[in-house]
Amino acid sequence: MAEIKDRENALIMETTKGKVVIELLPDLAPGHVGRIKELAREGAYDGVVFHRVIEGFMAQTGDVKFGKSDGPSFNPSRAGMGGSDKPDLKAEFSNMNHARGTCSMARSQNPNSANSQFFICFEDAGFLNRQYTVWGQVIEGMDNVDKIKRGEPVQDPDKIVSLKVAADVAE
């Protein structure tokens, strides 16, 4: 198992394909890391589907409004169009490369529109650098990310079973 250096800045994501451990990068994107942790601690990501998964590119999830499979507003045809009830975030772009396992925020055309949705890169996607906010890196379980069902939209999608801050989980 990967060593978690700082349990307050790591996520444990159980998916329908297995466990994924993400190291958070608060020095790079403090606002985005704060939001992800806040939503994780509220249980907002639990049950959220991977609604857009493109082979050789990335797996996108995090629509806590329309993508939460057991939520009151769940709508598979609208998954990917929603966010949380919290305000959008100001961009925190950096020089960090969108390499395999990079976790970055999804957004609309407006650079300051990230809210709750994020994606995990399957392969190097350097063309996204300095245009999307990188907030984390998968340190364990990328093989499970690779197993996530593909599609745009995904039929019968995989989902996040639970997303928790490592500090909140018994070792």
Cα atoms in the 13 Å half-sphere on the side-chain side of 93: 11
The answer to whether the CB of 81 falls within 8 A of the CB of 66 is: yes
Q: For residue 1, what pLDDT is reported?
A: 63
Give the tokens for residue 157: 């999608």
Segment 118-130, tens digit of pLDDT: 999 999 999 999 9
Query: CB of 149 within 8 A of CB of 54?
Result: no
Q: Tell how far CA 16 is from the center of its chain.
A: 15
pLDDT above 90 for 7: yes
**CB of 40 closer than 8 Å to CB of 16:** no
CB atoms within 10 A of CB 65: 22
Q: At residue 43, what is the residue type?
A: G
pLDDT band at 27 (very low <50, low <70, confident <90, very high): very high
Q: State pTM to two decimals.
A: 0.97
- Confidence (pLDDT) at 162: 98
156 near 10, Cβ under 8 Å? no
- Write the pLDDT tens digit of every residue in 66-89: 999 999 999 999 999 999 999 999
Average pLDDT, the chain: 97
Q: Name the residue type at position 102.
A: T
Alpha carbons 148 and 133: distance in angstroms, whole number: 22
Break the chain into its structural domains and give their ranges: 17-166
Residue identified by tokens 């997303």 is 163
Instruction: Judge contact between 114 and 85, C-beta under 8 A.
Output: no
Question: What value does the mean pLDDT take over residues 22-41?
Answer: 98
Architecture of the structural domain at 17-166? Beta Barrel (2.40)
Is a pLDDT exceeding 70 seen at residue 45?
yes
pLDDT at position 171 is: 78
Predicted local distance difference test score (pLDDT) of residue 3: 87
Whole-number pLDDT of residue 170: 85
The predicted pLDDT at position 69 comes to 97
